[in-house]
A and B are shown apart, each in its own frame.
Chain A
Amino acid sequence: MPNNLDFVKFDKVDKSYDGKVLVVKDLNLDIAEGEFITMLGPSGSGKTTCLMMLAGFETPTNGEIYLDKNPISNIPPHKRGIGMVFQNYALFPHMTVYENLAFPLKVRKFQKDEIDKKVDKALSMVSLSGFEHRMPGQLSGGQQQRVAVARSLVFDPQLVLMDEPLGALDKNLRESMQYEIKHIHESIGVTVVYVTHDQSEALTMSNRIAVFNDGKVQQLSSPDKLYEEPVNSFVAEFIGENNTFAGQITDMSKDKCKVKLNEGSEIIANPISVKTNGDKTTVSLRPERALINTKEKMDNNFKGKIEEVIYHGDHTRVRLDLLGNKEFILKVPNSSANMDIKMGNQINVSWNSHDARALDPK
């Protein structure tokens, strides 16, 4: 699909607001044409700053941003032709839905009938036909959101930026809007740069996710890789749920290593960012990769005490005291075979060393 792999290119971009602290450090990021890329990270990680630099509302302190091979640092925002959806929609409250959508077309001096056609098309894309003459204040949050999306797309930009567009919606609406935006992206093939701090949103929508922390991209990969194969403790911790053990490498082989935990026992893990014996490490294990009372043969088998049981309908979350970690979480699927999950019981827990990733120490 992508014929242009560096449609947007951040080249060694630094950004500082006060000359003392770098909020974005040495950012290098290529975004392919037609891609849906998400910048994910906790607040203050620099993701919105990156987006604002791309939109033209902030200038990079150092480095250059290229759009379709052209440096854009000196181009003012209104000449970049980038669509943008803002956090609080930023619909013009004194204009009707039609006028809001016609605004980018009018400033581009389109003819009236052409404007009408484009507005119609954009509104039907977000299934809001017939809402032309409403004021934004008369629309629900979800409808305003759709108008904002339609407005950012109505002038056919090649690139659309979305800054936490679903942050103000309730959970159900947010989920349905996620699919809607994803479908719009797929149907018109526009490049989308999406900023969010909601990891499930990022996982469901994106082609690739750039996890930001502390002004740097921690990992840039597809959602499944990000979840299955985090490259460091921050990503492992930030994306999804995670059980951790802190320890030290005692026996290093090619694709396995022994980790002596601080509590004394030894587990076998998959060495990712550790090199030699004696390295400190944090072993990360996804809750669903640890099984209880299984008959499968696995190379880590331990006994834990059930501390808490929380019923979730389709599954049960079990908190264990295991190998000195009192916050060890298990997800047990709801089936009739799950018998003695009761508080205080001792149960066997097993996992494959491949799933226990030995990452950098926190």
Chain B
Amino acid sequence: MSAETKQILTTDGIPLEVSLKKAERKNKIKAFLLVAPLLLFLLITYIFPIGDMLMRSVDDKMVTQMLPKTFKSMETWDGKELPPEEVFEAFYLDYKKLIEDKTFGKLSTQLNYTKNGFKSILKKLQRKMKKFEEGNYKEQITAVHPRWENVEYWRAIKRRAPAYTSAKYLKGMDMYVDEEGKIVSVEEDRRVHRILWLRTLEVAFFVTLLCFLMAYPIAHLLATLPMKYSNLLMICVLLPFWTSLLVRTASWMILLQQQGVVNDFFVMTGLVPDDARPEMMYNKTGTYVAMTQILLPFMVLPLYSVMKTISPSLMRAGKSLGGTPFIAFWKVYFPLTIPGIGAGCLLVFILAIGYYITPALVGGASGTLISNQIAFHMKSTLDWSFASAMGLMLLAGVLAIYWVYNKLVGVDNIKLG
């Protein structure tokens, strides 16, 4: 009896759950097939490259693969005193192989990164090793140069044993692991990345703020104007979208340069003297102006879509209940637009934090952002692992902002459309 009451059967005697699953299976398969192309696309173009970037940014297999025997024999060495004879022997064999392969130069470069002074003693070792006799390698190697007797250098070698490293991430923060294995900052005058990170955050924040201040009234107008005017205004807002990003940035260059249209106008109206035209480009001002203009639609659209749903009778109700127009706006209208503000700000901020073309073209030295630095390492220094590391740090930053936003406002409070 109890089993019967638990399991409800259809009229044909099949358990209801089974029957329901069967009936819904077809829909599920159909739904999956519909999203499958996108899923595949995302997997190939997004998930996989991100994974690859992550691998690249921490990859440090080069030294590990060059000195396999040495690292294996070093496993038991505690690093307090000079390593035992077998380590010296292993190192001799590894280094000999590298010399035969003619790749020993790379090792000296890599080890020199870890500790200065490796380059010369490795070179000397390479020259002297030709005359080495079999056995008692410890004595022979330490005889080449007194530094080989210094335990510091052997510790430095051991530090390169792991196949993975966080060095690139530390470099992105202007930090490194010093000889004692401690994480320290580089000298103050060499801290380029921190400045870039801070500048990126600052630019993204102010661009978001400027976009918000400009987009809010426009979006309100769009949502309340009669159709025929609001359509026209909407076209004006979207017009930048239909123009190439490069063209728009280039037109800003024409407008903002020292002999440009805006400056000419200032001089013509007597606002500034001809010999003191303000620099509005190749600095932060240019970045602010151009980025704000380019990102404005991303703020207007979510705001508009939220404002469109707010019934005008709510503001009227606020007024009829005795609220001044300001109170009605601040207490009734504004709180209802918060989902749109959240969506717009998050969108603009995240886009701004990774913006590349505009700061590269109009930013000059003081207006470039972290993404320009990433591009620089991708294209010029070819340090892809460092570029990957910074790219991932940027991604982590964005995720962190998203997380903070979720804690403060709640992501389900976002309304994009």
Contact = CB atoms under 8 A, between A and B. Distances in A.
Given A80-B320, A82-B320, A86-B316, 13 more contacts: A55-B316, A56-B320, A78-B321, A83-B320, A83-B321, A84-B317, A84-B321, A92-B331, A103-B318, A103-B321, A107-B322, A107-B324, A155-B322
B323 A103 contact: yes
B317 A92 contact: yes
A90 interface: yes
Contacts of A82: 320
A67 to B, nearest CB: 14
Interface size bucket, B side? Answer: 10 to 19
Contacts of A56: 319-320
Contact of A57 (B316, B321, B324): B316
B320 A84 contact: yes
Contact of A94 (B311, B319, B323, B335): B335
B213 interface: no
Interface of A: 55-57, 76-84, 86-88, 90-94, 103-104, 107-108, 151-152, 155, 161
B320 A107 contact: no
B314 interface: yes
B313 A87 contact: yes
B322 A86 contact: no
Contacts of A79: 322
A56 B311 CA distance: 18
| Most A C-beta atoms less than 10 A away, residue of B321, B325, B327, B336 | B321
B320 A88 contact: no
13 contacts: A55-B316, A77-B316, A77-B320, A78-B323, A78-B328, A84-B317, A86-B317, A90-B314, A92-B314, A104-B321, A104-B323, A151-B321, A152-B321
Given A57-B316, A103-B331, A88 B311 contact: yes
B289 interface: no
| Most B C-beta atoms less than 10 A away, residue of A56, A77, A104, A108 | A77
Interface string B324-341: 110110011001100000
10 tightest A-B CB contacts, nearest first:
A104-B321, A90-B317, A84-B320, A90-B313, A77-B319, A86-B313, A78-B319, A107-B323, A107-B322, A94-B335
A92 B321 CA distance: 12
A22 B242 CA distance: 43
Contacts of B331: 92, 103
Contact of B327 (A77, A86, A94, A107): A107
A56 B317 CA distance: 11
Contacts of A77: 316, 319-320
A55 B318 CA distance: 12
A76 B327 CA distance: 14
A92 B329 CA distance: 12
Nearest to B310: A93
Nearest to A55: B320
Contacts of B332: 92
A235 B101 CA distance: 108
A75 to B, nearest CB: 12
| Most A C-beta atoms less than 10 A away, residue of B320, B322, B331 | B320
Contacts of B313: 86-88, 90
A104 B324 CA distance: 11
Interface in B128-183: none
A55 B320 CA distance: 7
Nearest to B320: A84
Nearest to A99: B331
Nearest to A154: B321
A85 to B, nearest CB: 9
A118 to B, nearest CB: 13
Contacts of A107: 321-324, 327
| Most B C-beta atoms less than 10 A away, residue of A55, A83, A93 | A93
| Most A C-beta atoms less than 10 A away, residue of B314, B322, B331 | B322
A316 B317 CA distance: 46
B311 A90 contact: yes
A346 to B, nearest CB: 55
A103 B305 CA distance: 27
Contacts of A83: 320-321
A80 B316 CA distance: 13
B316 A90 contact: yes
A103 B335 CA distance: 14
Interface in B289-323: 311, 313-314, 316-323
Given A92-B332, A93-B336, A103-B331, A78 B314 contact: no
B415 to A, nearest CB: 13
A151 B331 CA distance: 16
A123 B190 CA distance: 68
Contacts of B320: 55-56, 77-78, 80, 82-84, 161
Contacts of A93: 336
| Most A C-beta atoms less than 10 A away, residue of B317, B327, B332, B335 | B317
A56 B323 CA distance: 13
A313 to B, nearest CB: 38
Contacts of B322: 78-79, 81, 104, 107-108, 155
B321 A155 contact: yes
B91 to A, nearest CB: 71
B270 to A, nearest CB: 42
Contacts of A88: 311, 313
Nearest to A86: B313
B100 to A, nearest CB: 76
B310 to A, nearest CB: 9
Given A57-B316, A78-B328, A94 B321 contact: no
A55 B328 CA distance: 16
Contacts of A152: 321
Nearest to B321: A104
B314 to A, nearest CB: 5
A107 B311 CA distance: 21
A82 to B, nearest CB: 6
A80 B324 CA distance: 11
A107 B331 CA distance: 10
Contacts of A104: 321-323
| Most A C-beta atoms less than 10 A away, residue of B316, B325, B327, B336 | B316
Nearest to A82: B320
A84 B320 CA distance: 6
A82 B321 CA distance: 7
A79 B323 CA distance: 8
A78 B324 CA distance: 6
A83 B322 CA distance: 9
Contacts of A92: 314, 317-318, 331-332
A53 B331 CA distance: 24
Contacts of A55: 316, 320
Contact of A76 (B314, B319, B335): B319
